[in-house]
Structure 1
Amino acid sequence: MARLPRTSFEVVAVTGLWAGVLLRTLRGLRRRPHLPRPL
């Protein structure tokens, strides 16, 4: 834990980023049988 978000904006940005990645990954898994290859 070297760096902690200090502002609520950073918290929202990081949370939104992770949520988008997780949702996109789940959609990819549901749509295709194989795992999506990392970028």
Structure 2
Amino acid sequence: MDFLIQWLWYLLAFVAGSAVAWVVATLLNRPGTGARR
């Protein structure tokens, strides 16, 4: 059971990291922020 819990935590951390990276990339690449002319 401990292995299953560790796997679930690993999966949760992976999903959370992917979500954070996606949000950061979306905010940085959003037009109208003055980065592109």
Q: TM-score, normalised by structure 1?
A: 0.64
Match of 1:28 among 16, 20, 25: 25
Q: Which runs of 5+ in 1 are unaligned?
A: 1-5, 35-39
Q: Which runs of 5+ in 2 are unaligned?
A: 32-37
More helix by percentage: 2
**Higher RCO structure (Cα 8 Å, ≥6 apart):** 1
RMSD value over aligned CA atoms? Answer: 1.7
Runs (4+) of structure 1 exceeding 2 A deviation are: none
**Residue in structure 2 matched with residue 16 of structure 1 by the alignment:** 13
Deviation at 1:7, TM superposition (A): 1.3
Identical positions, percent: 7
